[in-house]
Structure 1
């Protein structure tokens, strides 16, 4: 069956985001580098967001970012062996909860011949 042109297809075959994405970066000695993440199964993935607000909601408002198109981000991470791109990821781990403080119980000593 021939592939339909995206304009005629109610659901396009390729689900790629349109336009530049917001890509989290980290500063480095030679400029900025794209941040790479791990999937729940441990694989490496590049992450990108469709808006600065979504990026800030997920990684914090102080997270630096750059705008890159999806093909440019894939070309940037492919030499590193990263072939997965996750768009608009959300953190799935729950926030850490402080451990309850435990009060140590006094030690009891049982001696031989004790009737108690």
Structure 2
């Protein structure tokens, strides 16, 4: 089989690092933990942004983040079975709000 040049391949097999990313984190017991997300198909993915502005535009101004190289993010999430890193996602759903218990409806008495 002939080897394809990388320029000829529309989707190169080799992943090139995205560079330093702004990775959303949440506070944990031992420091910060990377936030993991789901793709539209439901697969788990790590997420990184190319600028702090993109983090706040997508996840809000209160979202904490750390700088992390893309290979380090992959190494961090690989033991969890997460092989995908999504860079600069444009959409995110808000966190679900807690559901308040329904007000009990009084039982009807039929005389």
TM-score scaled to structure 1, two decimals? 0.67
- Which has more radius of gyration? 1
2:62 match: secondary structure: coil
Q: How far apart, CA to CA, are the structure 2 residues paired with 1:63 and 1:47?
A: 13
- In the other structure, the counterpart of 2:64 is 64
Q: How far apart, CA to CA, are the structure 2 residues paired with 1:91 and 1:82?
A: 20
Q: Is the 8 A contact 2:59 2:92 kept in 1?
A: no
Count of residue pairs brought into register by the alignment = 90
1:83 match: secondary structure: coil
TM-score scaled to structure 2, two decimals? 0.70
1:77 match: secondary structure: helix
2:85 equivalent to 1:78: no
Q: List runs of 5+ in structure 1 lacking aligned partners.
A: 94-116
- In the other structure, the counterpart of 2:38 is 38
2:25 match: secondary structure: strand
Q: Is the 8 A contact 2:58 2:92 kept in 1?
A: no
Deviations 1:46-83 (Å, cap 9, x if unpaired)?
00000000010000011000000000000000001111
